[in-house]
Structure 1
Amino acid sequence: MTNIRRNIFKASFLLGMMLFLFGCASYNDMIASYYKQVSSGNYTDAQKELEKNKLLQKPRNKLLFLMEKGKIGHLAGDYENSNRYFNEADQLLENGMGGAMDAVVGTLVNPMTQSYKGEDFEKFMIHYYKALNYVYLNQTEDAIVEARRISLQSQEQGDKFNDKDSRYSKDAFSLMLQGLIYERDGDVNNAFIAYRNAAEVYLKSKDQTYYGVKMPLELKQDVLRMADKNGFTAELSRFEELFGMKYEQKNEPEGGALIFFWENGLAPVKKQEELFFSLIKGSNGDLFFTNLGGTIVIPFNHAYSNSNFSLNGVESLRATYPKYVAQTPYYSGATLANGQQTFSFEKAEDINELAFKTLEQRFMKEMGKVLTRLAVKKSAEYVLRQSAKGNGKDGKDNSLLEGLGIGMQLYSLLSEKADTRNWQSLPAQISYTRIPLKKGPNTITLSLKNAGGADETKTIEVNGTGKLQFYNYSTLR
């Protein structure tokens, strides 16, 4: 029996060390070669790195793989294949992922072993890239369908929360994009509704700022312009008052207009942080977790425990949780010029802010699950060790139970790992501006201010057709 205990200990130690070494590396570390190619603009090499990355080939990471493939296809200008992958990702989300076994694996090991289900803002960004792809492919009807699906996504997201005012229950940028797509199609009624819905999100927020984004002046002008085009005089007056500005009718540019999206920087990466808690019984008998400083108090979830649960076996708990680390963009500012006027960009979506705030919002709920799971594991270890002691008193060899207890303790300690996965190729921020076009050829110049304070320029040619056009440019470093 002594040999059995020794073998169990050795096996547990080796497994634990493997898990520990694996646990030291974040998701970002494990896809670093792909990430490097993305930030360098080497999209062909980035696609090759995706295909050979073993971690992203695992079934539990299928959504991440599809989103990254879709994004790289978009950046490379392969819009048709890009949407093939994004549509597959969409279908995966609609069908649902995981299930009972997936939850069990996450409970017994760690959340990193579960199927990645995506952040809420990542799901909205799928619509953004799909819509642009359809526009660039001249598939107007498909772009309109994608615009409509933004409303369904917003409704689904809003249904998740009771306190919608303080939660990320709508994506203002997606609603603005929806309005732009409708306007491009000449549907001024739906364009007004979408712009109005986006404006309402800002108006309901403190200081008209929603997750790091101040309501763009362009959006205000779009609301007023579409209200006027529809003949909605009452709505026009209402929003003039709300915005504190007077609408002035202007002639439409002969060549139409260009909506230019500037995607700057890279999304924050997730790292693992360690937190220490104790399980304490309150004066009324309720159990709760508290950190060392007593600044965090989280109720114990009894749904995870059973009659064998022992508070005596639970002392201090080491919990892991993801934290975002922002990356400083290489470019600090940009302007757009058409040869006659220079236009500034306005921030439309702040992925950095969304990532930090939405993770913070779900901290208490998710940490409660983590701590309760750890407490139940610790209790099981305690019960096993106590059983071993009991057997020893009866004169029986308790080596097997003792070895199992040690193995379980090592496994629980070293297998604990936070989920550090996220859609890495998203930009840190998206800014936009509307620039008028003349009929026929237009030379548009993008001026970028880099980290050294110097200006860099990029020139694009746009043919003014009298309609609204889109263009997005990425500086992902």
Structure 2
Amino acid sequence: MMRPFPRIPHDACRGRRAAALAAVLLVVLVQSGCATYTTKFKDLRPQFAGGQYDAALATVEKEAGSKDRVLYYLERGLILHYAGRFAESNEAFAAAERTADDLYTRSISEGALSLISNDNAISYRPRPFEMAMVPYYKGLNYTYLGQREEAQVEARRASLQLSKYVDATLDGLRAEDRDALERIRNNAFLHYYSGMVYDWDGELNDAFVAYRNAAVAYQQSHGLLQTEVPPQLGRDLTRVGARLGFRAELDQLRASCPDVFRDVDDDGHPVTREDYEKLAAWRGGEGEVVLMLETGFVPEKTQVRFDFPVFESEAYDDPNYWSWQIWAGMGNTQAFVKGRKVEYWVSVAAPELQDGRPGPVAAARVSAGTAAGHAVSHRVENLSRQARLTFDAEKPTIFFKTILRGLTKYLASRGAEKAGGDWAKLAANIFGAVTESADTRSWLTLPEHLHLVRLSLPPGTYDLQVELLGYDGRPLHTETIAGVAVDAGDWTFVSRRVF
């Protein structure tokens, strides 16, 4: 049970001071409100999904606070990308990268403020999987702008950026919480995307290295990340490796990455190495269409509240130690409090990742008329799973800091009681309650999954028919991507967000 408030003193002067204090605290309570970041942006996703990009930009402009600048730029960059304003999108993404770099390199001077308020008082530091997507989107923007060299630069940066932010995030975690985050450092899709961009530009050595890295990463982590190995990856490696004369290395990869080099063709027939090389050969006179379908939204964070005990018998001279002890004891609260007299139950707020149900789109069947039959997509990237693994790695540290903040506030109220009496303690307790709010910030418009479709087509202009499929395999609806130009021996990259 919560400890009851102290009785009101009878002294008239103290009563007047109490009334004034209560009025001030009421104003603070009203102004601070209880809305979390996710609640404030409740209109953003419906606006974005409905193609109301101007309205979505207005929401971001209105609601983003001074501590949310990197998220402001990330949201703005992605909205502008889908609005077809590619140069402006890249300006926003570049600003996001500069802001994030500054946040990760500056001294953690805001940390003390979060102990007396909440984590929303400090600037949001984007997660590694969020920042890794920035070069991907910048690369697509440059591709659509016809700036091939700049697109290649971004492709090269994607995996490096992910690794950089993984390192920065690991520094704040306990050693025992780092394993899953380490495993998402090597992102298979980003390697594969880089390889295709190099391949497009004729940089075959770089393409082979990127394809090889993608093969190793998919083999190691597609189960953990719940992704599918794109069937074209093994063929791309075989085609490029054979042209470069890397047959011995290809044999090693076939042995170490059996999920990438399937031993059957699309119809289930056995395939030898020689057959594989024939299947992988570039068909002269055709062009390659790479369609990347982005579905749904990453899970958002919500606020949860929980209570923890403060014991009468403890001085709490080392709040850090006690915060970890309380976190460890939360698994069995009854055993933790047994035999101890509880002085107070402290109520705090923490974030939780709301996985929810995935979006309705499970895959897509794509055709270009009668030119080349149809192809089925494969889920090559799972940002929802990366968000979950990242949050679970950070969760012990997040809850430790939440408990430390609550404990610090309560110890301050205990000190206020000694110095100024019951009303001072009451003021400290109310301030602690008013300022207690979970940090639910994240990049809200990111997709949950990326699906890849490849089509080899004769030169021409095509209207791609994209039949979206549900998890039961039944068609949901069909969308048309009009005017896709294909040139012989060239690559055409197309992306589309679907819901």
TM class, shorter-length: 0.7 to 0.9
Q: Does 1:16 align with 2:36?
A: no
Give the structure 2 partner of residue 472 of structure 1: 495
Instruction: Read off the aligned partner of 1:456 and give its amino acid letter.
Output: T
Kindly provide the CA deviation profile for residues 445-474 of structure 1, in whole angstroms up to 9, marking residues without a partner as x: 211236995432314232221211200011
- SS of 1:16's equivalent in the other structure is helix
Q: Which runs of 5+ in 2 are unaligned?
A: 1-12, 264-272, 335-339
Kindly provide the CA deviation profile for residues 235-275 of structure 1, in whole angstroms up to 9, marking residues without a partner as x: 10011122333432344232220110001112222111112
Give the structure 1 partner of residue 484 of structure 2: 462
Q: CA deviation at 1:380?
A: 1.6
Give the structure 1 partner of residue 226 of structure 2: 212
Instruction: Read off the aligned partner of 1:409 and give its amino acid letter.
Output: N
TM-score, scaled relative to structure 1: 0.84
| CA 459–93 in structure 1, closer or farther in 2 if over 3 Å, else same | closer
TM-score, scaled relative to structure 2: 0.81
How many pairs are equivalent? 441
Most deviating of 64-73 and 5-14: 5-14
Give the structure 2 partner of residue 432 of structure 1: 452
> Could you tell me how far apart the structure 2 residues matched to 1:292 and 1:313 are?
14
Give the structure 2 partner of residue 67 of structure 1: 74
Instruction: Read off the aligned partner of 1:83 and give its amino acid letter.
Output: N
Give the structure 2 partner of residue 266 of structure 1: 297
Instruction: Read off the aligned partner of 1:89 and give its amino acid letter.
Output: A
Q: Does 1:363 align with 2:395?
A: yes
Q: Which structure has the higher relative contact order (CA within 8 Å, separation 6+)?
A: 1
Asked if the contact 1:265–1:327 (Cα under 8 Å) also holds between the matched residues in 2, the reply is no
| CA 366–49 in structure 1, closer or farther in 2 if over 3 Å, else same | closer
Give the structure 2 partner of residue 396 of structure 1: none
Kindly provide the CA deviation profile for residues 188-207 of structure 1, in whole angstroms up to 9, marking residues without a partner as x: 111111122222223333xx
Q: Does 1:89 align with 2:96?
A: yes
| CA 111–312 in structure 1, closer or farther in 2 if over 3 Å, else same | farther
Kindly provide the CA deviation profile for residues 368-403 of structure 1, in whole angstroms up to 9, marking residues without a partner as x: 122112112211211221334xxxxxxxxxxxx432
Instruction: Read off the aligned partner of 1:63 and give its amino acid letter.
Output: V
| CA 210–437 in structure 1, closer or farther in 2 if over 3 Å, else same | farther
Q: CA deviation at 1:100?
A: 4.6
Q: Does 1:222 align with 2:213?
A: no
> Could you tell me how far apart the structure 1 residues matched to 2:351 and 2:149 are?
40
What are the within-5 Å matches in structure 2 for residues 135-150 of structure 1? 135-150=143-158
Q: Please, which of 201, 204, 209 is the counterpart of residue 188 of structure 1? A: 204
Identical positions, percent: 24
Give the structure 2 partner of residue 6 of structure 1: 19
> Could you tell me how far apart the structure 2 residues matched to 1:212 and 1:421 are?
25
Q: CA deviation at 1:440?
A: 2.7
Q: CA deviation at 1:212?
A: 2.1
Q: CA deviation at 1:333?
A: 3.1
Give the structure 2 partner of residue 277 of structure 1: 308
Asked if the contact 2:363–2:376 (Cα under 8 Å) also holds between the matched residues in 1, the reply is no
Q: Does 1:154 align with 2:162?
A: yes
Give the structure 2 partner of residue 249 of structure 1: 278
Asked if the contact 1:6–1:403 (Cα under 8 Å) also holds between the matched residues in 2, the reply is no
Kindly provide the CA deviation profile for residues 284-333 of structure 1, in whole angstroms up to 9, marking residues without a partner as x: x9641047763599xxxxxxxxxxxxx99974332322122235424343
| CA 263–201 in structure 1, closer or farther in 2 if over 3 Å, else same | same
Give the structure 2 partner of residue 294 of structure 1: 331
Give the structure 1 partner of residue 118 of structure 2: 110
Give the structure 1 partner of residue 440 of structure 2: 420
> Could you tell me how far apart the structure 2 residues matched to 1:229 and 1:296 are?
64
Most deviating of 255-264 and 368-377: 368-377
Most deviating of 123-132 and 318-327: 318-327
Give the structure 2 partner of residue 179 of structure 1: 195
Aligned Cα RMSD in Å?
A: 2.8
Asked if the contact 1:60–1:115 (Cα under 8 Å) also holds between the matched residues in 2, the reply is yes
| CA 413–449 in structure 1, closer or farther in 2 if over 3 Å, else same | same
> Could you tell me how far apart the structure 1 residues matched to 2:139 and 2:164 are?
19
Asked if the contact 2:191–2:210 (Cα under 8 Å) also holds between the matched residues in 1, the reply is yes
> Could you tell me how far apart the structure 2 residues matched to 1:279 and 1:198 are?
50
Q: CA deviation at 1:182?
A: 1.0
Q: Does 1:346 align with 2:362?
A: no
- SS of 2:380's equivalent in the other structure is strand
